[in-house]
Structure 1
C-alpha cells in the first residue's frame, strides 16, 4: 500500500486517543501491522511507536490508523532532526517530569527526563511506573539523579565540576528531597529519598 500521497499530519498521535477500546474491529492482516511497527521502531524511535507496539498480538483498525498517522507525520517533517552545535560552555541541564496515571489502558504513570550537555540534547528516556502523583514525581527525580551521577563520572575526564541542575515542576517532590523530616508521607519510598538527599547534600546535583 502506497502512502506517498497521504495528507501530512502535524503530530505523531491524536491527543487523548483511546487505543485500548475493544469494540473496534480486528485487522484482517495482523502481519502487515507488525511489519509496519517493526519498521517504524527503526525509523522514528518515538514513544508513540512504543505504545502501538503493545498491540501487535491483536491489532485493531484504530491501531492501524494510528500507525498510518505516524507515517503522515514523518512525511510532514523530513527536515526535522537533532542538531548539535558547538557552544562555548559545557553546562549540563536536566529536566525531569512524571505524568500521573496517564495511560488509559493500565493507569500507570510515565516519567521521563532529558539531558542537555553544552546546549545539545544527548540523553532522553521515558518509563512507566505505578505510583501516586507525588511519588511518581519523586521516583522520576531519583531515576534521573542516577543518570546524572553516571554522566558526571563520565565527564570527569573533561574537567567538569560543580553541581548539575535538575529542573522539576513539582514543588512537593523538591520539598521532600530537601527536608530530612518529612517521614510519614514518604516511608514507602525511603530508599529513593535517602539516595536523592545524599547526592543533593554532596552538591552533585541542584534542584
Structure 2
C-alpha cells in the first residue's frame, strides 16, 4: 500500500521540503481513514444486507411450500432451459411434465425442472409451489443469505478503502504537479544564465 510509503518523510532530513511533510500527513490520514472507515462501512452494509435478505428468506418460506410431484413424462431438453433455483443453464437437471396437488387441494399439472437423473413416469420428487399452487423457485436458504450479506459487507469495505486510497493519490498527484510548476518557474528565472562563465559575479 503506497499510503504507508509517505511516512518515511518524517525522518529528520535537511533536504525535506514542506510538501514532503504534507505528503506524510496525507499518507497517515489516509491510513487512519482506511483502518476506520473500511470496517465501519463493511459492518453497516453487511448488517443492512443481512436484515434485508433474512426478511426475504422469511417471506419466501412463508409464501412457498414443498409438495410431492409425480412425473407424467420427460420432455425434450432445449439449450434455453434455465434452472429457476440458480438462474443458470439446467445442466444435470431434467425438464418434465408433472402432476401435483396444490395447498388448496386442487390438482395441478405443469412443466418443472427436477434433479432426477433418468425420470420415468410415476417417479416422485419434491417441487416448491406458491400459495396458488403454481410451481415456484426454491426459497433462499438462511445460510446462503448470510453468505451474501458477508460478501456485500466485504465488498463495501474494499470499496471504502479504495475510495480513500484514490483520494490520497489524487491529492498527492496535485501536490506533485504544483511542485513541478514551481520548479519550472524557478528554472525559467535562472535557467538562461545557468552554466555561463562569470554569471552572478
Please report the TM-score for the alignment, with normalisation by the length of structure 1. Answer: 0.21
Question: For the pair shown, which has the larger CA radius of gyration, 1 or 2?
Answer: 2
Structure number with higher relative contact order (C-alpha < 8 Å, ≥ 6 residues apart): 2
More helix by share: 2
